Amino acid sequence: MMGSTSNALDKGGENFKKLYNASDVTKRNRNGQTKSGLYSLFIPMEWNYEGFIDEFGIPVFTTPDVDRFDPSGELIDVGVIDNWQNEVDGLKDDSDGLNEFYRQFPRTTEHAFRDETKGSIFNLVKLYEQIDYNEEMTNTLGITQGNFQWVNGVKDSQVIFYPDRKGRFKVSWVPPSSIQNNVVLKNGVKHPGNEHMGSFGCDSYDISGTVDGVGSKGALHGLTKFSMEDAPANSFFLEYLSRPPTAEMFFEDVLMALVFYGMPILAENNKPRLLYYLRRRGYRGFSMNRPDKIWNKLSVAEKEVGGIPNSSEDIKQAHAAAIEMYIQDHVGIKQDGTHGDCYFNELLNDWCKFDINKRTKHDASISSGLAIMANNRHLYRPNAEVKKPQLNINVSRYTNTGTNSQIIK
């Protein structure tokens, strides 16, 4: 049972979170048992908050219309939820304080399992607004879990997406059938036909097994951009955070997603096996070159397989700035009063905890940031486009009659 909060994730909270999730009563085997053998129970703070329980032991949730008193005879003139919201509103300008208040007085499990985020580099208020909205609207967001598959198992043919509760992909938008599998062949190399609609970002891995048996996950995120097609604009539509038994399975998952959506990918080339895998299969045209260098300045390997190194300080800063820009414009409550449509809470929570000096722990942030950079690659051109003003040259004409030429005006 959880009636308050858990410790920070690196102080025992991570293990408790795993135990809690393994005790989900809605996920039982045929013997009626959860994975842990226990049943999880979460009690929101409003059910037992001191000072807001009336003389009959009933919580006063909202500000009462009639007088209600606590066991000591004190008047309760405001509801616990209203009081909680007043505290939240008062902390809007203190991101760290707001995060800690959510952790100490949680109304959802999302609040209770939040990690300590001292010194977060992103706008936590907007991230929390989006996370809370996603929690409230979880049944209407339209996220489907599933996998991709080659039709009839024939590789390099057509790809289909099929729902599967245990699938490795989470998808919030699927393109119309008329533009699915839009692959264009140019000089024997396959290129994405929907490049104008969006891009993928990927944080790959090269080694199938790890010493501890865990290792970082392979991460893939798809992001649309503004287009005239039937698609949401500037919306993350696909999330993949998984580590299949072999690296080749991960590479094939990524390839099928690229083919199905017909969009290019910007991936780290520090771990190049994925990029060589795409090239070997004839999909070099799907792998974007680093946008911050012209072709002649690329290394031999970069010309061969594409990708971008995520090790230089310039790239790190540009990557973090790209995420920050996206959060400011498209996450949480926007200027028109509507909420953003970034519906993947695992990604939002990773942004909350993102540490630019410990990037290897944030697979989701790395891949999502690369997707944002891919869609805005014009911002990273090494030489800004120079627009030369048109010269207005007038050639004078003269009359050729008489002894003196006269200019024609």
Mean pLDDT of 53-70: 91
C-beta separation of 348 from 114 below 8 A: no
Does 95 score more than 80 pLDDT? no
- State residue 228 phi and psi, 5-degree precision: -90, 5
Q: Which of 88, 97, 96 is nearest to 129 (CA)?
A: 88
C-beta separation of 53 from 60 below 8 A: yes
Residue environment code for 20-45, b if the CB has 16+ CB neighbours within 10 A, otherwise e: beebeeeeeeeeeebeeeeebebebb
Q: Can you give 150-205 as a three-state secondary structure string?
A: EHHHCCCCCEEEEECCCCCEEECCCCCHHHCCCEEEECCEEEECCCCCEEEEEECC
Q: What is the pLDDT of the chain when averaged over all its residues?
A: 86
Would you state the structure tokens that stand for residue 280, as one six-digit string?
Answer: 């070997």
Q: How far apart are CA 129 and CA 137, in angstroms?
A: 12
Does 1 score more than 60 pLDDT? no
C-beta separation of 113 from 338 below 8 A: no
**Per-residue pLDDT, 211:** 40
**Comparing 144-158, 159-173, 193-207, 380-394, which segment has the lowest mean pLDDT?**
380-394
The residue among 407 and 158 whose pLDDT is bigger is 158
**Per-residue pLDDT, 280:** 94
Q: How far apart are CA 88 and CA 27, in angstroms?
A: 33
**Comparing 106-120, 152-166, 299-313, which segment has the lowest mean pLDDT?**
106-120
Per the listing, tokens 């090239």 go with 279
Portion of the chain with pLDDT greater than 90, in percent: 48
The residue among 122 and 235 whose pLDDT is bigger is 235
Give Dmax (Cα) for the chain. Answer: 118
Portion of the chain with pLDDT greater than 70, in percent: 87
Does 96 score more than 80 pLDDT? no
Mean pLDDT of 371-375: 95
Would you state the structure tokens that stand for residue 395, as one six-digit string?
Answer: 């050639």
Mean pLDDT of 264-293: 92
Would you state the structure tokens that stand for residue 354, as one six-digit string?
Answer: 């993102």
> In the chain, what are the domain boundaries?
9-119, 144-380
**Per-residue pLDDT, 170:** 95
The CATH classification of domain 144-380, taken from the options 3.40.640.10, 1.25.40.10, 3.30.420.240, 3.40.50.9100: 3.30.420.240
Q: How far apart are CA 40 and CA 322, in angstroms?
A: 38
Mean pLDDT of 243-266: 94
Q: Does the global pTM surpass 0.85? A: no
Would you state the structure tokens that stand for residue 162, as one six-digit string?
Answer: 């099929």
